[in-house]
Amino acid sequence: MVLLVIIIILAVIFDYINGFHDAANSIATIVSTKVLTPFQAVIWAAFFNFMAFFIFRDHGVADTVAKTVHQGSYDLYVVLAGVIAAICWNLLTWWYGIPSSSSHTLIGGFAGAAVAHAGFSSINWSFTNGIGITFLYIILAPIIGMILSIFITLVTIQRNFWLKISIIIAVVSSCLIFIDFKKPFEFWGLMALGIIFIVSYFINYIKGESAQRTANMFKQLQLVSSAALSLGHGGSDAQKVMGIIGAAMIAQNYIPDFASLPDWVPLTCYTAISLGTMSGGWKIVKTMGTRITKVTPLEGVCAETAGAITLFTAANMGAPVSTTHTITGAIIGVGATKRLSAVRWGLTLNLVWAWILTIPVSGLLAAGIYTLIRIVFHLT
């Protein structure tokens, strides 16, 4: 039981680190566009990170993370090694300002330690509820975020007001009719987002679309889009730690399965990631908000909206998608709509390498830590 308590404490510490490591995901664009000051932005993001606790109630992502390794193929020492490795890699990438995925760090650590313990057969490779879907979204998340942001940007900069409004109505209506939303909030949230955009554009059109008035409108809309992104970030990333804690509890026979996870675990995880977000992560904010491409309030709205939609869609599928990958792809998308040279592709390539290496490096680190634990505790 003592080891379980230690793992839970370390997992919550990781959740806190995840918050300030990934604060950049939620606030980079809104800080770089000067809509909010850094202090205001982290308070704003932290509030909506925590509010995700009341919205994401099915914990599908957490369940997927808990099933990264087959039940019975790991013990508490495996989970301990995975969490320690994830903390080390997260702090290292934060120190150097590399926007790697905290989610993939945790999953890679858990998987790597399990392989060292029981071999590759211990890994659940499923593309529906295992690590396979994580690998799939390493590729899909930034691409989806980029495609959505390009589309949203092209619609937003459309000069024909009535054509722009018609496209928004058609797209939102089609989604509401044809998508099978698992959670009512997603249905009403998408509808509310569409209405907010339509009403904002309409009021701006009635008053006269001057450059200053339009710029102010997008600054106000960015509060909405950043709030949606922070909700998605909290709902997605806090669940990763819930999954690891759940896996540890199952290994200890504290609970029979993930469905029996105590209510205090989600509350603790959402609180920890919110407090971490309030601590900020300014090195990564600089990378995400200014070094990939220069972002205006209009482009910030488009990138954040695309990121939020991607995160909510992935959470609806129980996919542990990376918030970092998603918003990076969205920022690249809005930059590419101006011109391809507006994106600093050299930096982007370095980020891609960081994404590719995160899981294997975390896995190797966790395997090494697990081996060390076996030696220290004389495990067979």
332-378: pLDDT as tens digits: 888 778 765 555 545 556 667 777 788 899 999 999 999 999 888 77
Q: Name the residue with higher pLDDT: 64 or 100.
A: 64
Tokens standing for residue 58:
């099915």
**Angstrom distances, CA of residue 120 to CA of 7, 113, 368:** 23, 10, 15
Contacts for 138 with CB less than 8 Å, ≥ 6 apart: 104, 322, 325, 355, 356, 359
Cα–Cα dist 14/87, whole Å: 6
Rg (CA), the chain: 21
Give me the chain's average pLDDT, please.
84
pLDDT score recorded for residue 61:
85
Q: Lowest-pLDDT range, 11-25, 156-170, 205-219?
A: 11-25
Opening angle at CA 306, ends 275 and 292, nearest 5: 75
- Report the percentage of the chain scoring pLDDT > 70: 90
Give which of 135, 129, 116 is closest to 74, Cα–Cα. Answer: 116
Task: Look at residue 322 and give its three-state secondary structure.
Answer: coil
Q: Name the residue with higher pLDDT: 266 or 278.
A: 266
Q: Name the residue with higher pLDDT: 131 or 94.
A: 131
Cα–Cα dist 313/315, whole Å: 5
Cα–Cα dist 264/228, whole Å: 24
> First-to-last CA distance in the chain?
20
pLDDT over 50 (residue 292): no
pLDDT tier, 136 (very low <50, low <70, confident <90, very high otherwise): confident
Query: What's the farthest any 2 CA atoms get from each other in the chain?
Result: 75
pLDDT over 80 (residue 175): yes
Contacts for 182 with CB less than 8 Å, ≥ 6 apart: 58, 60, 316
Can you tell me which residue has the tokens 């960081």?
Answer: 354
